[in-house]
Amino acid sequence: GQNIDQPTEMTATEGAIVQINCTYQTSGFNGLFWYQQHAGEAPTFLSYNVLDGLEEKGRFSSFLSRSKGYSYLLLKELQMKDSASYLCAVRDSNYQLIWGAGTKLIIKP
Amino acid sequence: SAVISQKPSRDICQRGTSLTIQCQVDSQVTMMFWYRQQPGQSLTLIATANQGSEATYESGFVIDKFPISRPNLTFSTLTVSNMSPEDSSIYLCSVDSLTSGRYSDEQFFGPGTRLTVL
């Protein structure tokens, strides 16, 4: 079956750095996505990786290793507004998006 | 990017009734997706709605329970039929930033419809 694993919840301190991991097992691979979802709101797009390596976008970076079925989202200089759920999703060989359960990130002052 | 609106934003319904959720996109899109997100859980795809053809349903979802309409390239509806408390969830409409038949690297979501069934 297809499976995406990410931690259920993480806690970090304002101003610090946090890394959210995602491992996947899917039938084929056509890209990996990270989305941010604040409570009661729709998910919003953060990043997309289709090749191995690091993609940097401001305070957020996303890394992919296709051979290991692994990705991480790195958030730097954490702000209180970064408190949200972070969803990892993979496009499989049928171009269908497979979603992880999300990681709830709690930022403490 | 695409701007998506949904109606209603929330509703409280009685068991056994039906609710139709509307999704409007500000640009023409080939494929529209309907998701369900139950409390504390991730997104589950209900069906893919293509204009001019029957919707494609995922395992565990059937047309009788979740009929979908797609009358044009900017609009779709999802009906939750004969509701039970287990249908209480957030229902999200989504589109790919799809151009010229190619998938691109982002999926846009509507604001969601929060449904509570008593």
**Residue numbers of A between 29 and 48 with CB closer than 8 Å to B:** 30-31, 33, 40-45, 48
Q: In this complex, which of B45, B106, B111 lies closest to A48 when CB atoms are compared?
A: B106
Position B98 scores a pLDDT of 54
Position B101 scores a pLDDT of 43
Residue type, B113: T
Spell out, as residue ranges, where chain A has pLDDT lower than 70: none
Nearest Cα residue to B49 out of B19, B26, B79: B79
Position B30 scores a pLDDT of 82
**Chain B closest-CA separation from residue A106 CA (Å):** 14
Neighbours of B11 (CB within 10 A): 14
Q: How far is CA B48 from CA A33, A91, B45, in A?
A: 19, 15, 8
Position B83 scores a pLDDT of 97
Q: What percent of chain B has pLDDT over 70?
A: 92
What number of helices (H) and strands (E) belong to chain A? 0, 11
Nearest Cα residue to A54 out of A36, A37, A68, A74: A74
Position B29 scores a pLDDT of 85
> In 3-state terms, what secondary structure has residue A39?
coil
For residue A72, what are the β-bridge partners?
Answer: A21, A63
B109: chain A residues, CB-CB within 8 Å? 42-44
Question: What is the full DSSP assignment across B8-25?
Answer: -SEEEE-TT--EEEEEEE
Position B42 scores a pLDDT of 82
* Max Cα distance, chain B (Å): 44
Neighbours of A20 (CB within 10 A): 21
Position B12 scores a pLDDT of 97
Q: How far is CA B35 from CA A24, A37, A61, A83, B66, in A?
A: 21, 14, 27, 23, 11
**Using CA atoms in the order A35, A80, A11, A84, what is the torsion angle rounded to 10 degrees?**
-30
CA atoms within 13 A on the CB side of A66: 14
Q: Please state, in angstroms and rounded to a whole number, the distance separating the CA atoms of residues B88 and A105.
A: 25
Spell out, as residue ranges, where chain B has pLDDT lower than 50: 99-103
A41: chain B residues, CB-CB within 8 Å? 111-112
